[in-house]
Amino acid sequence: MGSGTVVAGHAADVTLRSDRLADMVAAVEEGRRAFANIGKIVSYWMSANIGELWINVAVVFFNLPKPWETMNQLVLGLAATSFGVFPLCFEPAEATVMRDAPRARNDSVVHPRIWRWIVVPFWLVFPTVTIGAMLLGLSWHVGEYRGQKIAELCSFAYTCREGGKTCIMNAKPYMCSCLALGTEQWGRKQTEQNNFAAQFEASSGISGASYSRQFGPWDTQEPLGPCSSESTNEFGEALPENARCWLTWAMQPEELVGADGRTTGDFGMVYENLLLDAKNCVRQGTMLAKTMGWNTILLTELAFLQCLRSPQSLLQTFTRNKTALVFLCVSVAIGVFIIYTPVVNTFFDLAPLGFFSFAITWIGAASVVVLAEGAKWLLRR
């Protein structure tokens, strides 16, 4: 031990520099603390990485916008993985660490109960709250952006400009054409102050429909109605039952001239501008939904990491590691800075969230805290 020879020290796997019992107890306690902290880090990395993998799968399955690009992923790695995990190296040992039985050499660094009761449920809750936040964001900020009204306006605009005849089979092809048009000025003006009402109105086609009724080449009657049994698409194929076609009075080979001298070509330009407005609102609303998903991921991972710091209640251990609190505040501040700083959020393709949208992103963090703390309570029982 402390009085061993130099040769014995070089030959041994472990050399004790002191044979005082207190020193050996402290060494064992420090080893157990380090082993436990390594298990916490592994638990977090496995939980977060596999959870993000499930989010990517769900995004593809539900055809949603990706909540992160390359730079967004790097920021998540910096704020959640680096700044979040680093303080775990300084996490103090539990008060009962020396009462635990010695571990076997082949024991896993993560206890099986942690896998069953905390990690696996996190894999289910984490993607659910993230996708839920994005779907709610799309519903709030984009509305029925694939709706029939925008498709009708788009089809009418093209018909007026070309002087031809057309029908609507499906909203999606026209929707793709609409969203490929234009600039972004109007949509950004409408959303600078998080004007979600105007955003929803334009993107859902409500304002476009009312505008077309007021200034279009008709008074109160819609230009589209049920298709006749003889109607076909441009390929000669029969139309589906719910298809809507141009009515006879609206299908003129030449341009109509209104009382004010404006032609259907002029109206076509008006409707194209309406479609550009809707497209801009759709893009901005999609950015807001994407931002809600990204912030939910960041806050949820940070909240889960705080729960993994100790098997004891979070309320009892939240303030015992000052370093962890400092890095937690830094990580949250990074997310807020990226979302609400004008030049920075443009670079990361994010948008500033309103109060309710930002509050929704905290639901994911709260859900994970309830889940993890409930599982820890059951394990303590």
Domain ranges of the chain: 39-93+111-143+288-380, 148-283
Which amino acid is located at 285 in the chain? Answer: G
d(CA 161, CA 251) in angstroms, rounded, equals: 13
Backbone angles phi, psi at 167, to 5 degrees: -145, 170
At residue 275, the pLDDT reads 55
The most confident of 11-20, 67-76, 232-241, by mean pLDDT: 67-76
- Return the pLDDT at 151: 47
CA distance 212 to 72: 40
Confidence of residue 200 (pLDDT cuts 50, 70, 90): very low
pLDDT tens, 134-159?
888 887 776 544 444 444 445 444 44
**b/e map of 190-226 (b: 16 or more CB within 10 Å)?**
bbeebebebbbbbbbbbbbbebbeeebbeeeeebbee
The greatest distance separating any two alpha carbons of the chain, rounded to the nearest whole angstrom, comes to: 111
Query: What is the predicted pLDDT for the residue at 315?
Result: 84
- pLDDT above 90 as % of the chain: 12
Contact 44, 110 (CB under 8 A): no
Give the pLDDT band (50/70/90) at residue 295. Answer: very high
CA 292 and chain centroid, separation:
5
For residue 92, give the 3-state DSSP assignment.
coil
Is 62 within 8 Å of 127 (Cβ atoms)?
Answer: no
- pLDDT digits 0-9 by tens, 50-86: 998 999 888 888 877 777 778 888 888 888 888 888 8
pLDDT at 232: 59
Q: Which residue has the higher pLDDT, 199 or 67?
A: 67
- The predicted pLDDT at position 320 comes to 84
Q: Is pLDDT above 80 for 121?
A: yes
**What is 39-93+111-143+288-380's CATH number?**
1.20.1110.10
Residue 357 has pLDDT above 70, yes or no: yes
Q: pTM for the full model?
A: 0.65
Quick one: tokens of 233?
């698409």
Mean pLDDT computed over 329-349: 90
Residues 325 and 140: their CA atoms lie apart, in Å, by 34
Confidence of residue 201 (pLDDT cuts 50, 70, 90): very low
Least confident of 24-38, 267-281, 337-351: 267-281
- pLDDT exceeds 90 at position 283: no
**Which pLDDT belongs to residue 69?**
78
User: Which pLDDT band holds residue 126 (cuts at 50, 70, 90)?
Assistant: very high
Q: How confident is the model at residue 274 (pLDDT cuts 50, 70, 90)?
A: low
Answer whether residue 191 shows pLDDT above 70. Answer: no
The answer to whether the CB of 350 falls within 8 A of the CB of 71 is no
Coil, strand or helix at 349? coil
- Confidence band, pLDDT 50/70/90 cuts, at residue 311: confident
d(C-alpha 368, C-alpha 364), whole Å: 6
Mean pLDDT of 329-352: 90
